[in-house]
Amino acid sequence: MNWHSSSLGDVLDEVGVSRGEGLSDEEAERRLEENGENQIRQEDETSPLEIFISQFQDNLIYLLIVAAILSVGIGVFPGESPKYGEAGIIMLILFANGIFGFVQDYRAEKSIEALKKMSTPNATVLRNGRKKEVDSTQVVPGDIVVLEQGDAVPADARVIEADSLSTDEAALTGESQSVSKSEGTVDEDAAVADRDNMVYMNTHVVKGRGKAVVVETGMETQVGGIAEELTDVEENKTPFQKEVDQLGTRVGALVVGIVGLTALVQLTLGSADIITIVLLSIGLAVAGVPESLPPIVTLTLSLGSKKLLEKDALVRSLPVVEALGSVDHIVTDKTGTLTEGVMTVRRLYTPGSELEVTGTGMDATGEFRSGDDPVEPGDDTRELLKCGRVCNNAELIENEDGEEEYKGEPTETALLVSSAKAGMEEDYERDRSVPFSSDRKRMTVVNDGTAYMKGAPETVLERCDRALVNGEVKDLDDELRQEIKDRNHRYANDALRVLGFAKKQEVEGEEGEELESNMVFLGLQGMIDPARGEVKDAIEDCRTAGIQVVMATGDNVETAKAIGDKLGFSTENAITGPELEELSQEELQEKIGDTEIFARVNPEHKVRISEVLQDEGHNVAMTGDGVNDAPALKHSDVGIAMGQRGTDVAKKSSDMVLQDDNFVTIRDAVSEGRHIFDTIRKVTNQLLSTNSGEVMFVFLGTLIGSIFFGDANQAFGGGDTVVLTAAMILWVNFASDGPPAIALTKDPKVDGIMERSPRDTDEGVLDKKIMSMIAFTGPVAAACCLPILFLNIGIGADWTFGFDQAQKMLFMALAFFEIIMFQVIRRDYGLRLYQNKWLTAGILGASASHLLILYTPLAQFFGMPQGFTLQQWGWVATSLAVFTVVEYGFRKAISYKLGSRVPDL
């Protein structure tokens, strides 16, 4: 059927639904089974096999594969036999590392899928004659969907009601201008962009409200035809992942360079043959590759996103996990984030009377008081309450659990509750309306020939020339106008959010400015949204952490200051939106550092605030909830949408969604982001420091053998022996660096993590301090441990052990050097071994695996004799003790503290 060109009656008959009742729950369930879920299938999803194969598609892994091939290829030379055992160990460990990487990447894929499902917007549909909120994937053909400004359109649907309804179809048609929608039919051959009686999946409502009957879902929608997905979560590489990619190239180049240098040394200073050079190449390649680094980074980021989710912060992409650690400015909304987000009307003012209203939240139980005495609201007050009820987009609906709840913006739900306290529960049909916008600061609804307006008091007041006073309509003279302004100012100083209300009768045929002028002022409703009790401490924690917190609210400056004062904001230099517009870029740059409150701001102002802060070199997190907040959210370094009151458009534009709309969650997320960055830095420091040691063991060992003994090959007893075999090095990488490095992800947060300054936006994981320690650790470890080899290889001394035993001693020195480095690095963060039971278990397991090789026939797979004497352990322990003392001494000498993160060593 051509849904757009057929009559509405035929469309409703075709999908089998009544426009007034909608589908029954039973029929909707049947159709869901018949048509499937309303979602776009991803044809290009990565298969598990592709994920597994990708584990071996890396320059560093290619080096190790080449090393394994060379181990076998040696057999082609005369008198040489293939080293199948060594090649087998290399490939076995590569395969095990690939399995680990596959598990982490597969889990990460599933985690992203879960985030997509959690960030899928809900839809309001008509079921059994009542409005009901359901997951958009549960929408079926025939559903009557209710559309409001900010809603994502859940499926392709034919419009059946439109009240100033406009949608943004840029994602579908590429048209940047919003498209007005209406009932009726269009030509059969009309293009998609010209079908103004249809709304489409993957678009959103930018203005007005309406209803539409769903005609296509899932892959049958227009967007399904081009396989674009509404709830797309981009999987961009994090800055550190890019760093790891660059690291692979650099390590590969470094290894090739060292191999070339070593070969040159052997050829010029010694008499090494091609076999020795090949074996050295294998050893150096294995030593230089931190093969477990990429999967552990993936694990760390995945665990980080799960921890953030536990704290009610849903990240929509992994880069956010890392970016949170460098945030130094948070620009936050007031309503619902710094405050409870549940508005309650406290005062009603009409010219001639004022009433207090009791009760809290969404409970309609309460009474009206004049002084201390309960009273019944008079006619003027009831007219004021009626205006708040008619001019309102909030409504009472049935949620997914079958319970009634108010759906709508907190201010509007508060108006429904205040009128319900007066026994007014009638639903008013609107003839037409002019929706609220941040530019207009007002909303007008026409009901039964009367226009009702609500909005900012100053905006409403300037459009009135009369007022309702004790049941009579009187001219709004200067004295009464000033009284209203004074009352508004007093309410705002008491931290009340104030709305003005007006009406105008007999407005048939009036439009635009004519409709919204010469109105009758009805009064004010002042409501309170109290500050969250825990927020003040959270803001103080952020400031201690070097993070500047800025309030940017649409409320008037008096209300913003009142709430700000309670939460510890400086109220001296508050700037309003109009004042902001008058400031030049240079003037704003001068003032912004001393300004903590921006009031009466719109989304465009937020974008400008963010731009100025970023131009000053700051890393900005910005909160938002409305459709127009999308540019500000996208422009900031970390865009944060509200999960409870945020529009679908805001959520889709954000990097993170606060599921509880609470500022405390932002503080906790930043803290967790810093912890995750610390963990990645510790893992990277550990793996690169120990790999640096391995390279130095092989390189310096060969160099010393060539210089002092004329030929390293002869120094090591002749044949084709080397300092350490590739199998030995790879085993140490796997056992000593593997499980314990994974266990680092379970490290607790360091003390004072929210007392240090944010890291710079351009500060990478491998900063100068980390690089200096990596450069120092390798040569020092080699210098402390290589004497074990050269003093015990049996040259002119009866007490030495011989090369095989000396090599085995160096093998164990390397193995336990890498284990010791875990606590050496963690000590920089003030952490002790007992604080991480998983690390303790990992270290014990690694140690046990090394002993298993020493004292069992497994030793033969590494080309070494079985057993290890106490005297040999003494040599190993002595060399490692010397290394530990020198390493700690160097760190103390340069006061290596990671900024102010840990105590002085």
Residue 483 half-sphere exposure toward CB, CA atoms < 13 A: 15
For residue 256, give the H/E element and its range: helix 239-269
Contact, 202 vs 153, CB < 8 A?
A: yes
Contact, 337 vs 331, CB < 8 A?
A: no
For residue 332, give the H/E element and its range: strand 329-332
Instruction: Give ∠ CA 543-545-546 in degrees, rounded to 5.
Output: 65
Tokens of 374: 């309960």
What is 221-255 written as a DSSP string?
Answer: SHHHHTT--TT----PPPHHHHHHHHHHHHHHHHH
Residue 579 half-sphere exposure toward CB, CA atoms < 13 A: 15
What is 712-762 written as a DSSP string?
Answer: HHHHTTSTT--SS-HHHHHHHHHHTTHHHHHHGGGPPPPTTTTSSPPPPTT
Cα dihedral 851/856/858/864 (nearest 10): 80
Contact, 640 vs 622, CB < 8 A?
A: yes
**Residue 489 identity:** H
For residue 774, give the H/E element and its range: helix 768-790
Residue 279 half-sphere exposure toward CB, CA atoms < 13 A: 27
Q: What is the DSSP letter of 866?
A: S
Q: What is the DSSP letter of 858?
A: G
Residue 202 half-sphere exposure toward CB, CA atoms < 13 A: 24
What is 658-687 written as a DSSP string?
Answer: ETT--HHHHHHHHHHHHHHHHHHHHHHHHH
Q: How far is CA 798 from CA 142, 708, 765, 871, 875, in A?
A: 94, 20, 50, 15, 17
**Residue 806 identity:** A
Q: How far is CA 195 from CA 141, 189, 199, 221, in A?
A: 19, 10, 8, 14
Report the C-alpha gap between 146 and 574 in whole angstroms: 40
**Residue 310 identity:** E
Tokens of 672: 């967790």
Tokens of 152: 């994502």
What is 182-220 written as a DSSP string?
Answer: -SS---TT--GGG-TTEE-TT-EEEEEEEEEEEEE-GGG
Name the residue with tokens 């394994």: 68
Q: How far is CA 293 from CA 95, 544, 792, 821, in A?
A: 15, 33, 34, 16
Is 333 catalytic? The answer is yes
**Residue 38 identity:** N
CA 483 vs. chain centroid, Å, equals 48
Neighbouring residues of 514: CB distance < 8 A, sequence distance ≥ 6: none
Contact, 740 vs 838, CB < 8 A?
A: no
Q: In terms of DSSP bridges, do strands 198-199 and 156-168 run parallel, antiparallel, or are they unpaired? A: antiparallel
Q: Among residues 333, 380, 555, 637, which one is catalytic?
A: 333
* Integer Rg of the chain from CA: 35
The torsion angles phi and psi of 497, rounded to 5 degrees, stand at -90, 125
Report the C-alpha gap between 833 and 826 in whole angstroms: 8
Report the C-alpha gap between 211 and 11 in whole angstroms: 14
374 - beta bridge partners? 369
The order of strands in the sheet holding 597-599 is: 313-315, 656-658, 638-642, 620-624, 329-332, 548-552, 597-599, 575-576
Active site residues: 333
